[in-house]
Chains A and B, each alone.
Chain A
Amino acid sequence: MTATVTAPPPAHLRQGLIAQNPSILWFLAILAAFCFGVTFLAEATGTGALSTSMVKTLGKTLCLCLVALAMDVVWGYCGILSLGHMAFFGLGGYAIGMWLMYARTEIIVVQSLAEATLPPTAAEIRDGIATQIFGVVGGNEFPAVWAFAHSLPLQLAMVVLVPGLLALVFGWLAFRSRVTGVYLSILTQAMTLALSLYLFQNDSGLRGNNGLSGLQNIPGLAAMGQDVIAIAFFWASALALALGYLLFAWVVSGKMGSVIRAIRDDEARVRFLGYHVESYKLFVFTLTAVVSGIAGALYYPQAGIINPAELAPIASIYLAVWVAIGGRGRLYGAVIGAAVVSLLSSWFTGGGAPDVNLGFYTVQWTDWWLVLLGVSFVLVTLFAPKGLGGLIDLIAERRAPQRVGDYGPDRSALRREEGPPQGGEQ
């Protein structure tokens, strides 16, 4: 990388970030329009056409889009099919949930102790909080992992550090011993399973399968209604998504982006060219894990509850499903996939979809949605490997029929065995 480059870099690398990725502007514009639209329709700030729970669902969807973005970068661009990013997402949620639960319980305990004859000591308050939080798993003392739960800044640091460090250590171990491809997927899945099994234990210190609850009540903001909090978190999620999009667009463009994509396409060749493949992979893996943790920290205050089932391996597989359906290897594809599939999923399973009467059998979508999802997933994998994002290419093609070369950065997401890419770049 430090090699002396005498010739100027190719034209497309000298352009700015936006010029390289015109989709950024489109994306930001659409996101902004969406946000203002929702704000205009929300209960707290607008006409009230959108219920508070709907605003929360949309805010949560934005967080899912952010974690899908991270998944797309690590899988669609770097070729690491990680089945652990929902675990990082959950860890971020747990990290912020610990503070939310601690601080809120503290307010309740202090209030109840204030009526006592003697002013409470610090130890009494702490014991009271511990009994409140851990009574459900038969404990009354704080485990070591709660050491920083009293402090918002420290716990916010945990949101970044816990998933980041886990990803760093795990990635270092895995990439160092050159575990790749399918093996790496299975290994990340094993890590996720181990984590969720650990959290399921009552003595894990995180309330076992009860998880953390009451996270929607933000301490210190009790006076504010849930409708206001919902729109605030919606905007925070949108902001995080926009920043995440910019960050990842920057990561996958330019020279580093080229190396990352080259690793996906032929890891050995990149290594022979003198790049330290492991460092690139570790960087991408850890960065995406951190972003996943941040997404989780924004998601769970809106969801209100987190439990170890949210970290189960199946959640991470669904994440891969969203990205694949949306179209991996392009950032907006991941966003489209996560938004469409998760919203459709909650529409179908929430009983929103009308039943279909076939005469001899009534299809109830709560029962058949997963069958439909499974089938459509197989169909997308087989017949539309570009996913929903591929539709954008059709529009682009219509607008510029004479264009030579490939659309978007995603064409090489498909393995070369599927046939040579059409057009340039050969």
Chain B
Amino acid sequence: MTRFRLLRVLLALLLMVPAAASAQTLQDVLQRHAEEVADPGRRTVAPVIDDLVASGLSGVPSFLTAWSERSVVRRVEDGLFFVAREEAGGTLALLDIATGEPVAASVPGDAVESVRPNGGVQRVIGTALVQFQLSDPDITVRRQAVGALARALAPSQIAPLSASIEGETDPALKERKERLLSYLLARFGASPEARVAALDTLAGDLSVATRAVLNQILDTEFRVTAEAPEGPRVARVLVPGDDIARDAAYAALVEAGLAQAAPTPAEMKAALEASIVEGQVGGVPVAQLFTDEARARAYGALAEAGTVPPLVTEAQIDAALAAHTFFEEYAETDADVIAAAARALASTRTTVAVNQAADLGLDALSLASIYFLAAIGLAITFGVMGVINMAHGEFIMMGAYTGYVVQLFVPDYTLSLLIALPLAFAVTFGAGVAMERLVIRWLYHRPLETLLATFGISIMLQQLAKNIFGTQARPLTAPGWLDGSLVINDVVSISYIRIAIFVLALIFLAVLLYVLNRTRLGLEVRAVTQNPGMAASMGIDPDRINMLTFGLGSGIAGIAGVAIGLYAQVTSEMGQAYIVQSFMTVVVGGVGNVWGTLAGAGLIGLSQKGIEWLNPANTLAAQTYMILLVILFIQFRPRGIVALRGRAAEA
């Protein structure tokens, strides 16, 4: 049987008559290219694969896979190909290449010779496989194939990809394939019309891949010519001195062979040093060569003697630069395609800019909510009570360390967070009340001295934290459901922790507004703020109210500490990072008003992000300018955005 088939194949080859497609099997096709299959080379393998693909046989994909994975063997005795599977005992089971059925008894390893395509061949096979995988019934295989295709776009992929779109059942994958086809057509399309059409579909798409494709099409090359260039391929003309450095422009001229190389100062110096004769260079004594003019003179003398390349004067350089045009030229030759790509890129850039603005807005919002959280406790103690609490930052730190300690005992992060939030409030509330009772209440009439006393407490608490927890940063791990970020598109995304902090800030705002405006405590706090004497004569105990208010402000700092610790490092110095910003938030916003703090946090967060956007490389510079902005702002509104009016403002 096999002999007969082999004979027929040999006959067919001899007569150069291809076997009838309906009758041929995979083995037939392989035998036709037996040598190439058994020992494939990167260049010779292409016709084999084309033939295999053209045969349309069902076993081709599985054979290609097996071939690529080096599990195809050739039986020595008759030259037939099989898929081999290793068995226990060192023997091989031979499987039919088309069906995968076992065909013969196990054979020892030396009865077959293995087929080992090298890496280059494997890649070629892989490319051929893609077209089968693109229509594979298994969606994961299709996804992988599309992913592989997207990584290396090539003209050869157009046909298989467009063929697979029709039968695609998954809508998302179908969309992805269509997008990829647009990329392929835009870059490698047969006619300019097809490319322009494909480019038009890409306009306004903000994915990174689209931008990469458009940029590749609009790739430019730096060129220099004597006559002024014209035509659609000129991307832009570069003016030496403005768009391109003078030295670089002249170097380009030299490289293009359009001008003579000017000796660099280092070359001049080396030439001078090499030409010292009896203490003189070109008639100039060495001891005089400490100015550029003397060196130029000496070098000029050498150049006239012809021993060194001539000096190129500045005037000559200017003339050479003026005589030539420097420009960037598109690698793409078709004017319509260039125009379409430029159009698409412009539209994409607009979309990207809009989305970046949205992303920046989200960033600013999240920064503002962090500042709000850090500052709102201060706004209560400083704003409502007029007490400067330099230890406020240390209360934030205390809250963060509370969260850390709770996590040491409660390993479940969600649960530990739920315990840590109220516990941090309790701890810092207690600390705040103790501080108010022991220190602050003696200093209500000396506001500048509360600043100093609380600063003493601040350095004490910082050093205590350092002594207890050490100097290295401690982790406060967020629960798993806060990991990752909400990705809206390729440009806009925000991490869940920041969303959580934003929500927390909103809750704080609501709770504080409720407490201050709708409860008995809030009424009494406002009364004591406005006029302690009158409040006391109305039966309110100012001491108690002050104590509770201070505790409330400190407790909120503790909760803010847990929230901040989730995304920043917990160290003994973390409070310092927020204290100045918090003070500025309160001062900018206006003292004694929750809305003012909100406005201040919003303004500071927004301006800091805005400045960072203008100068993205440098957050330090952004902070510097932000502070300068705040100082200037205070000039125009010394009492903040939301200023108190009337007697309370003078208190």
Contacts and interface: CB of A to CB of B under 8 A. Distances in A.
A193 B447 CA distance: 22
B453 A382 contact: yes
Interface in A69-93: 81
B286 A119 contact: yes
Interface string B258-275: 000000000001001100
Main secondary structure of the interface of B (DSSP, over half): helix
Contacts of B457: 374, 378
Nearest to A188: B631
B5 interface: no
Nearest to A179: B638
Interface string B563-599: 0000000000000100010011001000000000000
A120 interface: yes
Given A197-B620, A377-B456, A368 B467 contact: yes
Contacts of A374: 456-461, 463
A324 B286 CA distance: 65
A121 B630 CA distance: 47
B467 to A, nearest CB: 5
Contacts of A177: 634-636, 638
Contact of A183 (B455, B467, B632, B638): B638
Contacts of A378: 439, 453, 456-457, 460
A418 B445 contact: yes
Nearest to B632: A173
Q: Which of A190, A201, A382 has the most CB of B within 10 A?
A: A190
A197 B622 CA distance: 10
Interface residues of A, number: 55
Nearest to A193: B580
A378 B448 CA distance: 13
B460 A194 contact: no
A121 B292 contact: yes
Given A183-B638, A190-B584, A117 B286 contact: yes
B445 to A, nearest CB: 4
Interface stretch (A30-38, A99-107, A313-321): A313-321
Contacts of A174: 634
A182 B388 contact: yes
A131 to B, nearest CB: 14
Main secondary structure of the interface of A (DSSP, over half): helix
Contacts of A418: 445-446
A355 interface: no
A370 B463 contact: yes
A377 B467 CA distance: 19
A376 B446 CA distance: 18
A381 B627 contact: no
Contacts of B290: 118-122
A148 interface: no
Nearest to A209: B620
A118 B456 contact: no
A376 B453 CA distance: 10
Contacts of A203: 618
B621 A385 contact: no
B439 A189 contact: no
Contacts of A376: 456
A324 B447 contact: no
A421 B237 CA distance: 81
Contact of A382 (B292, B390, B442): B442
Nearest to A186: B583
A177 B637 CA distance: 9
A152 interface: no
B21 to A, nearest CB: 69
A175 B263 CA distance: 59
Contacts of B452: 320-321, 324, 377, 381
Contacts of A314: 576
A189 B631 CA distance: 10
A191 interface: yes
Interface string B595-628: 0000000000000000000000010110110011
A393 interface: no
Nearest to B459: A374
Contacts of A385: 446, 449
Nearest to B289: A118
Nearest to B291: A121
B584 A381 contact: no
B449 A373 contact: no
Interface string B456-472: 11111111101100000
What are the 7 closest A-B residue pairs judged by CB atoms, nearest first? Answer: A374-B460, A377-B456, A417-B445, A194-B627, A370-B463, A119-B290, A381-B453
17 contacts: A81-B451, A118-B289, A119-B286, A177-B634, A177-B635, A181-B447, A183-B587, A190-B583, A194-B624, A194-B627, A198-B620, A198-B624, A200-B620, A324-B449, A368-B467, A415-B446, A417-B446
Interface of A: 81, 117-123, 170, 173-174, 176-179, 181-183, 185-187, 189-191, 193-194, 197-198, 200-201, 203, 313-314, 317, 320-321, 324, 367-371, 373-378, 381-382, 385, 414-415, 417-418
Given A179-B634, A368-B467, A377-B456, 17 more contacts: A118-B289, A121-B292, A170-B631, A179-B638, A182-B388, A186-B583, A190-B627, A191-B631, A201-B620, A201-B621, A313-B580, A324-B449, A370-B459, A370-B463, A373-B456, A381-B449, A385-B446
